[in-house]
Amino acid sequence: MSLTVVGSIAFDAVKTPFGERPKMLGGSAVHFALAASFFDSVRVVGPVGDDWSAAEDAVLHARNVNTDDIEHVPGKTFFWSGVYGWDLNERDTLDTQLGVFETFKPKLSAPAQDADVLFLANIQPDLQREVRAQAKNARFVALDSMNLWIDIAKDSLVKAISEVDCVILNDAELRQLTGAPNLIKAAQEVLSWGPKAVVGKQGEYGAALITKDGFFSLPAFPLADVHDPTGAGDSFAGGFVGYVAAHPDEEIGQDLLRRAMAYGTVLGSYNVEEFGTERLQRLKAAEINERVSELAKITHFEDRPVQLRA
Amino acid sequence: MSLTVVGSIAFDAVKTPFGERPKMLGGSAVHFALAASFFDSVRVVGPVGDDWSAAEDAVLHARNVNTDDIEHVPGKTFFWSGVYGWDLNERDTLDTQLGVFETFKPKLSAPAQDADVLFLANIQPDLQREVRAQAKNARFVALDSMNLWIDIAKDSLVKAISEVDCVILNDAELRQLTGAPNLIKAAQEVLSWGPKAVVGKQGEYGAALITKDGFFSLPAFPLADVHDPTGAGDSFAGGFVGYVAAHPDEEIGQDLLRRAMAYGTVLGSYNVEEFGTERLQRLKAAEINERVSELAKITHFEDRPVQLRA
């Protein structure tokens, strides 16, 4: 089986109350690929510039991520700079330099096109549609996006959504996209456009899964020390989509997707423990299963009906 | 067994995008009592003014809530007026008239003092301490508060907290109270002051329970239609504390408190379906157990460790 991800490859400058990094490896496709690499063989599609070096490739290769579809373009790699306040849910973007990402037109190699599972990380929705059309044999395609595209390319985004199996968005983005007052109504609207599953990411509060036949909600893994939330959503998506990719013989319904949510949650939780990709670079498989078991325990209560007063 | 609640009894004027009520029954003690009435015999302590009528008593009596400790004082009943926007997590207070609540000094009758379980709803923390001292035989005392008391009476609040078994606060209030950057650290700090359990309410995202020996998290019950969040936190507390009151023979640890969280969550969810106390007034016991079972289902995933890639 194989998993292709298309998205940004970046250098990030990040400052949080717990430290800072002037230039570290980042980008949605990178965070996704490192997380998904625990589940399947992953191929990254995206552009990098002249400032990309063998050291960055080495990080991906250490997790057996295939970098053959990384396109080397004259210019600078996408650069994002941001600062988080004491409330890590809030961040200010200081600088965005698109660099080689500005003129990026994804061209998938034959093996990338042949992927069993495809993840369209947050890029312009018309590009997502072109990529989706190239991956003719994918049995599961998931998509992320952001408020920018809802603002300036909503029609394209709605079309892109109608062509995928699963949408993974922040709950605020789902409400903005649909104009619905809450996650449930927003997800129902999105399901009516075609996808079989909607994941509403809720940051430190966890994530919810909505399909036509059910609802599931999972808190974030509780952490006393969070150092940098950058990439958490992409690591979540990597764990979630990776888990689906690793189970080709199972029906894609609530059972499978709920377990995928748990793995996504755990990958996201490790992501935020350190800056950028630092924690995932040295993450061990056993740590993942351990934390999933812990997550099952901390969300369990015994359903024991009681005699109530009329 | 018996449960005493001390708190506000009020008339509320509320406007949300889904309707409005110019004057309806409200107040923390009222919302709490109606929710807790499904679990135990409940006694309400609080002041009302000349505008209080038999119709309001009748609402409480219909749920067998004992109103003997409601103090009738010349003047006006506490009045709160607020408006919610499209995002029901945000509200603006338009008017607060303390009325008879301004000079309220709780005096518990002998039966109220003799309560097995006591809930100190959000009132001035020195008053909470006086009430706590009167209820000498209570085996479980829980406390709510608000940002106002953290701002102007923090030392008193910390003392009040050190004298109770359980603290039920919004997660933002827990962070403000302790200066800790997240719920886990904030709860650990509060536990170090004395209480055995901390509940962090997270509004539409649910609630978390932290004790010395464990962590538990539960999402809010998913609702497509929320009409008025007023009183949801107090109904949650009523279900939570009521459940504990109804199980006098069980050890107060994670097992019991997790089930109590589920009942609190369900009572809170019914509260917000209609305005003020309207939904709880006609709620049936069977509906509560049904929704708790549903909540157990929508939070469950199978913990099935997988072979991950090294």
Q: In this structure, what are the phi and psi dihedrals at residue A161, rounded to the nearest 5 degrees?
A: -65, -35
Domain count for chain A, please give it.
1
B51, B36 Cβ separation under 8 angstroms: no
Whether A309 maps to a domain, the answer reads no
Whether B172 maps to a domain, the answer reads yes
Say if the Cβ atoms of A296 and B301 lie within 8 Å: yes
Interacting residues of B132 by C-beta distance below 8 A, sequence separation 6+: B118, B120, B141, B160, B163, B164
Say if the Cβ atoms of B222 and A208 lie within 8 Å: yes
What does the pLDDT read at residue B26?
Answer: 98
Say if the Cβ atoms of B182 and A226 lie within 8 Å: yes
Handedness of CA B134, B140, B146, B147 (dihedral sign): positive
Residue type, A254: Q
Residue type, B144: D
Instruction: Please state, in angstroms and rounded to a whole number, the distance separating the CA atoms of residues A170 and A200.
Output: 5
Q: What is the DSSP letter of A214?
A: E
Q: In this structure, what are the phi and psi dihedrals at residue A55, rounded to the nearest 5 degrees?
A: -65, -40
The C-alpha angle with vertex A291 and arms to A285 and A293, in degrees rounded to 5, equals: 110
Say if the Cβ atoms of B224 and A185 lie within 8 Å: yes
Say if the Cβ atoms of A222 and B219 lie within 8 Å: no
Provide the shortest C-alpha distance from residue B63 to chain A (in Å): 8
Within 8 A of B33 by CB-CB distance, chain A residues are: none
Within 8 A of A38 by CB-CB distance, chain B residues are: 308-309
Selecting from B185, B216, B289 the residue whose C-beta is nearest the C-beta of A308 gives B289
pTM of the model: 0.95
Instruction: Please state, in angstroms and rounded to a whole number, the distance separating the CA atoms of residues A103 and B231.
Output: 53
Please classify residue A131 by burial: count the beta carbons closer than 10 Å to its beta carbon, then call 0-12 exposed, 13-18 middle and 19+ buried.
buried
Within 8 A of B188 by CB-CB distance, chain A residues are: 224
Whether A303 maps to a domain, the answer reads no
Question: Which residue does chain A place closest to B218, by CA atoms?
Answer: A299
Instruction: Please state, in angstroms and rounded to a whole number, the distance separating the CA atoms of residues A24 and A276.
Output: 7
User: Nearest-CA neighbor of A267 among A310, A220, A307?
Assistant: A220
What does the pLDDT read at residue A90?
Answer: 83
Whether A99 maps to a domain, the answer reads yes
A117, A141 Cβ separation under 8 angstroms: yes
User: Nearest-CA neighbor of B260 among A306, A218, A64?
Assistant: A306
Say if the Cβ atoms of B299 and A255 lie within 8 Å: no
Whether A306 maps to a domain, the answer reads no
Strands of the sheet containing A19-26, edge to edge, are A19-26, A10-16, A78-84, A91-97
Say if the Cβ atoms of B224 and A38 lie within 8 Å: no
Handedness of CA A142, A146, A149, A150 (dihedral sign): positive
CA atoms within 13 A on the CB side of B159: 13
Selecting from B183, B224, B262 the residue whose C-beta is nearest the C-beta of A301 gives B262
What does the pLDDT read at residue B103?
Answer: 94
Q: What are A5's two structure tokens?
A: 């991800």
Whether A307 maps to a domain, the answer reads no
Helix (H) or strand (E) holding A57: helix A54-62
Interacting residues of B285 by C-beta distance below 8 A, sequence separation 6+: A308, A309, A310, B38
User: Nearest-CA neighbor of B17 among B111, B74, B62, B83?
Assistant: B83
So what's the ipTM on this one?
Answer: 0.93
What does the pLDDT read at residue A39?
Answer: 98
Per-residue pLDDT in tens (0 to 9) along chain A, 310 residues:
799 999 999 999 999 999 999 999 999 999 999 999 999 999 999 999 999 999 999 999 999 999 999 999 999 999 999 999 887 878 999 999 999 999 999 999 999 999 999 999 999 999 999 999 999 999 999 999 999 999 999 999 999 999 999 999 999 999 999 999 899 999 999 999 999 999 999 999 999 999 999 999 999 999 999 999 999 999 999 999 999 999 999 999 999 999 999 999 999 999 999 999 999 999 999 999 999 999 999 999 999 989 999 8
Per-residue pLDDT in tens (0 to 9) along chain B, 310 residues:
799 999 999 999 999 999 999 999 999 999 999 999 999 999 999 999 999 999 999 999 999 999 999 999 999 999 999 999 887 878 999 999 999 999 999 999 999 999 999 999 999 999 999 999 999 999 999 999 999 999 999 999 999 999 999 999 999 999 999 999 899 999 999 999 999 999 999 999 999 999 999 999 999 999 999 999 999 999 999 999 999 999 999 999 999 999 999 999 999 999 999 999 999 999 999 999 999 999 999 999 999 989 999 8
CATH number at residue A41: 3.40.1190.20
Selecting from B88, B184, B222 the residue whose C-beta is nearest the C-beta of A217 gives B222
Instruction: Please state, in angstroms and rounded to a whole number, the distance separating the CA atoms of residues A93 and A95.
Output: 6
**Residue ranges making up the domain that contains B43:** 3-82+91-298
Instruction: Please state, in angstroms and rounded to a whole number, the distance separating the CA atoms of residues A188 and A205.
Output: 21
Within 8 A of B87 by CB-CB distance, chain A residues are: 181
Selecting from B285, B303, B306 the residue whose C-beta is nearest the C-beta of A246 gives B306
Whether B285 maps to a domain, the answer reads yes
What does the pLDDT read at residue B190?
Answer: 98
Interacting residues of B145 by C-beta distance below 8 A, sequence separation 6+: B122, B125, B128, B157, B160, B169, B173
Say if the Cβ atoms of B38 and A308 lie within 8 Å: yes
User: Nearest-CA neighbor of B222 among A156, A200, A284?
Assistant: A200
